[in-house]
Structure 1
Amino acid sequence: MNIAIAGGTGFIGTALTEYFISQSHQVYILTRTPKEKKANVHYVQWLVSGAKPEERLPPLDAFINLAGDSIGTGRWTEQKKARILKSRIKATNTAITLLQQLEHKPSVFVNASAIGIYGHSTTHTFTEDDVAGGENNFLKEVVLQWETEALKANELGIRTVLPRLGLVLDKNEGALPKMLLPYRLFAGGALGSGDQWYSWVHIQDVVRLIDFVIKTNEIEEAINVVSPQPVQMKEMGKTIAAVLKRPHWLPTPAFALKLLLGEMSSLLLQGQRVLPEKALRHGFKFNYSTIDGALHDLLRQDVHSER
């Protein structure tokens, strides 16, 4: 297959590219700063003045858009929040325009989304049928606008899928390395109350599920990309401690995290319990359903080094 990935040099985009290469697909990475072609990876410039990606792309089988300013770096100042929203809307709008210009349109458009659309709740369990129910917040408003923009691809007759990503676990990227650091320093413990839900997913299951939705024509619009077994923060922390053989004893009060991180602390202090109902209904099998299994896989080198 010929697969275009906008945001292909980022955390999830890099993992997807490696996976698709291993499957002998041709990957076309849309980026502001192209590199020289290597193996099955081609770089195509976009989002800069004068770029004409529509002239550089072959007939595509799938178009994946992951582009957007990171929500997990830097304090959420008003300027940062504006970049988070604007970058997602601009990239998605540009992707839609590019799809309009392509003579041979892909059969599927996969536009990243997030479980933040459900808002925060400690009591409700969310599936793809829910949007209302959780508390309104900044991320919920961002994702609502993001998905609205992406669904314009439906008007082009292109099957559109919105993978609502949860907390993606990877040893070297994303939130997990930050969560591990206190435990490595023997200072790990609950964040805030510890009762907040973390709807997590192993990076390998992220790429496998995105590949699955590309190949499964019956899947359209929202799909939750999370493990079938979300956990509360205190359970995740205790599991990290057990895997690393470190204590789970030093809680971090909510006010300290709010003081340190500002509004971005909501990523750690609040959450939602989300289930992958649509993925399971269509027969997707998670390789890592439990937090214990996922962490043992991701941290197995650490575990072996302790022996």
Structure 2
Amino acid sequence: MDGMNILVTGGTGLIGKALLGHFCHDHVTVLSRNPNRAYQRLGHHINVISDLDQLNDLNDIDVVINLAGEPIVNKRWSDRQKDIICKSRWEVTRKLVDKIKASSNPPHTFISGSAVGIYGDQKANCIDENCETDADDFAHMVCQKWEEAALEAQSDKTRVCLLRTGIVLAKHGGALARMLPAYQLGLGGPIGDGKQYFPWIHIHDMVKGILFLLKHPETQGVYNFTAPNPVTNKEFSQTLARVLRRPHIIKTPAWVLKAAMGESATLLLDSQRAIPTRLQQEGFHFCFPNLEHALRETLG
């Protein structure tokens, strides 16, 4: 993998930052609205652009990794926030695809983000990448259009891989960092009835999985980026409390969550028992297949 030209969007995010550390011998260009902040976070060995129009085409780029997107859980889903969530994913993706299509020698690989939210609420059903869904909720709609846009780049010159990501476990940033304060105070507990499945993946496996797709040119299409052992929200909550050696007594009823978060509460109440069938079929091995080990490593 020496000396590739890689273009990354979302490079200052949780996954992007962890991934970029692995591209020591490559020429990396990062798209960022705030180049100064990007250089501070990522170092000066990369090239930062603030607008894709700074690149006439992508003839000199080997790989595009598209991780851009406004965090979906940070704020209530007002109409304005929904618009930001959608545009931050769709517009960048469409622009990248247009540039790929306009290139006579386009990137050979386009890896683009998505999320398990595309499946909607699947209760206790085990779901892999073949799951067909008739969901009509916001998260499903965001991911579906995002994936459709990315797949437009597929050709005999460019393969497209889609990352249907679960909840990424990392110490700094992401969902876990927001949950920790309550658990550390002994105020952690299940959400709703706690039976909804919580598809998770350790940040190390997330990054390793993206590098795996890069190294295997035969891979393409949709991949669930979730650990092979999804757990219910109650199991997740109990395990986190145990790892932190804190009590596990406080339940958050669904109505309280809905009052606090509005429609975005579905992200915590919907159930996706997603399993990474295709990654495992391709021969990928998870370093952290089990939750307790993953949490101990993350929080240790």
Matched, 1:29 2:30: yes
Q: Which moved more, 1:34-43 or 1:108-117?
A: 34-43
Number of the residue aligned with 2:266? 266
Number of the residue aligned with 1:53? 55
Give the aligned residue type for 2:54.
Answer: K
Distance 2:179 2:296 in 1: 15
- Deviation, 1:270, is 1.6
Q: Alignment partner of 1:112: what SS?
A: strand
Q: Alignment partner of 1:201: what SS?
A: strand
- Deviation, 1:155, is 3.9
1:114-173 per-position Cα deviation (integer Å, ceiling 9, x unaligned): 11111112121111111326x431111111111111101014731000011111111111
Contact 1:187-1:248 within 8 A present in 2 as well: yes
TM score, norm. by length of structure 2: 0.92
- Give aligned pairs, total: 293
Q: Alignment partner of 2:17: what SS?
A: helix
Contact 1:3-1:25 within 8 A present in 2 as well: yes
- Gaps (5+ residues) in structure 2? none
1:13-68 per-position Cα deviation (integer Å, ceiling 9, x unaligned): 111111223xx222110123334694541112315xxx42237x772221111112
Contact 1:45-1:53 within 8 A present in 2 as well: no
Distance 1:271 1:131 in 2: 15
Q: Alignment partner of 2:160: what SS?
A: strand
Q: RMSD between aligned alpha carbons?
A: 1.8
Distance 1:101 1:33 in 2: 26
Distance 2:283 2:242 in 1: 32
Contact 2:59-2:106 within 8 A present in 1 as well: no
Number of the residue aligned with 1:43? 48
TM score, norm. by length of structure 1: 0.90
Distance 2:205 2:189 in 1: 27
Number of the residue aligned with 2:125? 124
Distance 1:261 1:126 in 2: 27
Matched, 1:9 2:9: no
Q: Which moved more, 1:89-98 or 1:272-281?
A: 89-98
- Deviation, 1:179, is 1.8
Distance 2:45 2:62 in 1: 15
Number of the residue aligned with 2:237? 237
Distance 1:207 1:124 in 2: 27
Matched, 1:287 2:299: no
Number of the residue aligned with 2:65? 64
Q: Which moved more, 1:286-295 or 1:61-70?
A: 61-70
Distance 2:136 2:28 in 1: 37
